[in-house]
C-alpha cells in the first residue's frame, strides 16, 4: 500500500484509539473471528454459538456454508455486522471433491474444466434461500488437483454467490456422465484465509481464560478488530476534523483529506480511515487519486455505509437542513 500525502495533519490522542489497542470489551463488540466451521451445523448456528459464547447481543456470519461444508467462516461480532456486505467483494476459494456417475476420458474432463472458466450462467438450486433467477458468475480459476477413478479433486477461485454444488452438477451434465459434489471446503472467504481459522472450542477456552483468570492474551490472538477485515479496500485517510461529519453520513470533501492511496479509481469501493487507522466509513470515489490530489475543494467520496459510531471524535461542522440530514441518515442504515 502506497499512501500519497495531500495535506499533513496530526491526530489528537484524546479521541479514538489504535484499533489493535482497544480494550478487550470494546474489541469483542467491534471485532471479528474466523471460525473453522465443522461439518454438521448451519452457518447461522455457528454464528449463534459464537454470540452466546462471547455473551454478545448480536453476531453474524460472512457467507453461508451448507451444513456439511467445512472451512473458513468469518463471524462479525457486535457492531461489526455492518461490515459483512463488504467482505463479499473479493473472490472466494474452495477445494471440492466431485464424483462422476460414469467413466470419462482425461482429455474430456480437462476440456470441460476449461469451458467452465470465466463467466458462467447459474440458476440457484431449489433449496437456495434466494430467488431462482438466472445469474452470471465469474470463475477466476479452476484447477484439477487429483483424479482417482471417478473422483476429481479440484480447487476453484470464484465470485461471491457462486453455487459450487450447481457448478459440479452443470459440469457433470456437460461431460455427459452427470456428477455430484461429495465434499467441499472453503479455503478463502473474501479477505480471510483457512490458515487463520480457529476451532469453536479454542475460542471458548480463550474466553474462559479471560473471564476466570483475567488473561486476555489468547482471546486477543483469535479476535481481530473490524479493520482487519477491510484490508482489501484502498484507503483515504481523513483529518480528525472530518471524522464526525462522515460518521453522520456527510459526503467527504477535499478539505477533509490528509492522505490518499495510489491507484484509486471511480469504479471501486474505498475505505475512509482516521489517522490512527480506525475505519470510519466506506464509499464511492467521485474522482481518481490524481484528481483528488489536485482539487482544493468539492466532494471526493460519496459515503455509502458508515462504520464508526458518531461522537467518538469532536464535532467540527455546521448543521445542515432537514432534507440533507434525512439523506445522511439513510446511509447509516
**Catalytic residue positions, numbered:** 66
Sign of CA dihedral 14, 280, 229, 64: positive
Is residue 59 within 8 A of residue 48, CB to CB? The reply is yes
d(CA 281, CA 237): 11
Amino acid at each position: 500500500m502506497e499512501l500519497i500525502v495531500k495535506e499533513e495533519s496530526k491526530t489528537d490522542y484524546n479521541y479514538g484509539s489504535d484499533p489493535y489497542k482497544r480494550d478487550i470489551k470494546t474489541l469483542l463488540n467491534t471485532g471479528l473471528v474466523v471460525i473453522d466451521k465443522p461439518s454438521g451445523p448451519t452457518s447461522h448456528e455457528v454464528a449463534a454459538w459464537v454470540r452466546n459464547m462471547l455473551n454478545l447481543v448480536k453476531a453474524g456470519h460472512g457467507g453461508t456454508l451448507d451444513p456439511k461444508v467445512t472451512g473458513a467462516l468469518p463471524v462479525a461480532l457486535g457492531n461489526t455486522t455492518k461490515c459483512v456486505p463488504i467482505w463479499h467483494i473479493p473472490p472466494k476459494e474452495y477445494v471440492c471433491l466431485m464424483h462422476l456417475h460414469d467413466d470419462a476420458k482425461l482429455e474430456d474432463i480437462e476440456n470441460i474444466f476449461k469451458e467452465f472458466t470465466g463467466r458462467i450462467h447459474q440458476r440457484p438450486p431449489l433449496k437456495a434461500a434466494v430467488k431462482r433467477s438466472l445469474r452470471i458468475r465469474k470463475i477466476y480459476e479452476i484447477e484439477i488437483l487429483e483424479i482417482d477413478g471417478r473422483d476429481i479433486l479440484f480447487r476453484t477461485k470464484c465470485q461471491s454467490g457462486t453455487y459450487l454444488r450447481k457448478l459440479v452438477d452443470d459440469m457433470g451434465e456437460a461431460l455427459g456422465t452427470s456428477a455430484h459434489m461429495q465434499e467441499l471446503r472453503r479455503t478463502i472467504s473474501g479477505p480471510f484465509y483457512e490458515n487463520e481459522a480457529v476451532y469453536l472450542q479454542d475460542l471458548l477456552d480463550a474466553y474462559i481464560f479471560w473471564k476466570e483468570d483475567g488473561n486476555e492474551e489468547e482471546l486477543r490472538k483469535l479476535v481481530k478488530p473490524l479493520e482487519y477485515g477491510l484490508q482489501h479496500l484502498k484507503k483515504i485517510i481523513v483529518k480528525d476534523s472530518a471524522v464526525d461529519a462522515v460518521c453522520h453520513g456527510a459526503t467527504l470533501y477535499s478539505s477533509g483529506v490528509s492522505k490518499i492511496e495510489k491507484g484509486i479509481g471511480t469504479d471501486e469501493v474505498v475505505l475512509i480511515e482516521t489517522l490512527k487507522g480506525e475505519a470510519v466509513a466506506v464509499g464511492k470515489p467521485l474522482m481518481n487519486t490524481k484528481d483528488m490530489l489536485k482539487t482544493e475543494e468539492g466532494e471526493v467520496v460519496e459515503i455509502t455505509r458508515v462504520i464508526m459510531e458518531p461522537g467518538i471524535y469532536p464535532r467540527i461542522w455546521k448543521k445542515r437542513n432537514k432534507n440533507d440530514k434525512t439523506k445522511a441518515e439513510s446511509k447509516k442504515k
